[in-house]
């Protein structure tokens, strides 16, 4: 029988109603007690890493989480991470970069309602996550939520209240879980051993463009961050001309060790800066990274991982475009 470690971090699934609203309160052991049926197909232990609302997540929390998995990796056959839904997609993406090619499954889950409420989705999600973590076919970092099995770099929370909260963006779900049965669509190849990375560069910022934005904000971003992700319009358009002055600001920061990545505010089908002048002109003039189909969550976390490893522009570009856990497609 497989041995699975539940790693509790807080979130709605572990919350109870307090004076100022829902607040994480249920322990890791309390979460396990809510799904006694999992003992039919695995042995389960639990550990409480922290107990926070996922809105409060920081890179330090990610390092702690990856470290706990590394410390326990040889003792268990898989891991289930209970996490708040608001930043679960960020954590799933980050763990995909911090723990690469894991032959053992690292499954993230949570819920839209606390696990001890009558109509909760928490018990089903937690049960399904243990079922998947105990499967012989499962591997790498995934999210299991509302019956969907989603690759860690492709997930996005698209609903704030509904149980069907997560979607796999521009990539099929890896499988589904129905009536206690796993239906696999895409089988992730199993590596021999995982690669752990426990260092991150936190200085990555996302700048979402709006019409009429003061262009000098880009200069302020480059003063604060080592990498700036600019979220443009449509296929990745960035405004030209004196009104915004983005080209002039980028010229000033050339050769100063800063990284620019361009993405789009449109959720589906990704960027293609070659289509319009407002994208092609920028890409021809400056040595930038284009995100294509990557999600915000995967772009930002991948840059935090890559910048901690590499300063050279050419090598950084290789890391950014390396396909990791299905983050680069098409």
**Residue 52 CB: number of other CB atoms within 10 A?**
18
Q: What are the angstrom distances between the C-alpha of 58 and each of 46, 61, 157?
A: 22, 5, 18
Nearest to 185 by CA among 195, 176, 198: 176
Nearest to 90 by CA among 51, 62, 131: 62
12 is catalytic: yes
Nearest to 108 by CA among 124, 126, 123, 121: 126
Nearest to 180 by CA among 5, 6, 35, 29: 35
What is the H or E stretch that residue 184 is in?
A: strand 181-184
* CB-based burial label for 63 (10 Å; 0-12, 13-18, 19+): middle
Alpha helices in 160-258 (DSSP H): 216-224, 246-252
**Residue among 9, 12, 259, 264 flagged as catalytic:** 12
Active site residues: 12
């Amino acid at each position: 029988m497989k041995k699975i470690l539940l790693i509790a971090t807080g979130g709605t699934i572990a919350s109870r109603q307090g004076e100022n609203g829902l607040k994480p309160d249920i322990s890791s052991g309390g979460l396990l007690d809510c799904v006694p049926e999992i003992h039919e197909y695995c042995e389960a232990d639990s550990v409480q890493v922290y107990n926070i609302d996922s809105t409060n997540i920081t890179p330090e929390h990610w390092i702690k989480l990856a470290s706990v998995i590394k410390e326990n990796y040889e003792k268990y056959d898989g891991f289930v991470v209970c996490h708040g839904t608001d930043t679960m997609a960020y954590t799933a993406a980050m763990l995909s970069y911090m723990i690469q090619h894991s032959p053992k499954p690292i499954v993230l889950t949570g819920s839209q309602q606390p696990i001890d409420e009558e109509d909760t989705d928490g018990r089903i999600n937690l049960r399904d996550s243990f079922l998947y973590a105990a499967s012989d076919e499962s591997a790498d970092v995934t999210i299991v939520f509302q019956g969907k099995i989603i690759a860690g770099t492709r997930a996005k929370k698209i609903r704030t209240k509904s149980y069907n909260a997560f979607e796999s963006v521009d990539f099929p779900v890896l499988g589904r879980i129905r009536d206690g049965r796993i239906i696999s669509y895409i089988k992730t190849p199993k590596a021999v051993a995982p690669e752990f990375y426990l260092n991150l560069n936190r200085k990555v910022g996302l700048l979402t463009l709006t019409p009429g934005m003061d262009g000098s904000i880009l200069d302020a971003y480059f003063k604060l961050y080592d990498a700036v992700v600019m979220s443009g319009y449509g296929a990745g358009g960035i405004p030209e001309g004196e009104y915004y002055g983005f080209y002039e600001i980028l010229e000033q920061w050339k050769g100063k060790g800063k990284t620019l990545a361009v993405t789009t505010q449109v959720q589906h089908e990704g960027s293609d800066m070659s289509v319009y002048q407002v994208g092609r002109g920028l890409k021809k003039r400056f040595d930038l990274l284009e995100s294509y189909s990557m999600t915000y969550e995967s772009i930002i976390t991948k840059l935090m991982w890559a910048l901690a490893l590499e300063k050279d522009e050419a090598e950084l570009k290789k890391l950014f475009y390396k396909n990791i856990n299905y983050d680069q497609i098409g």
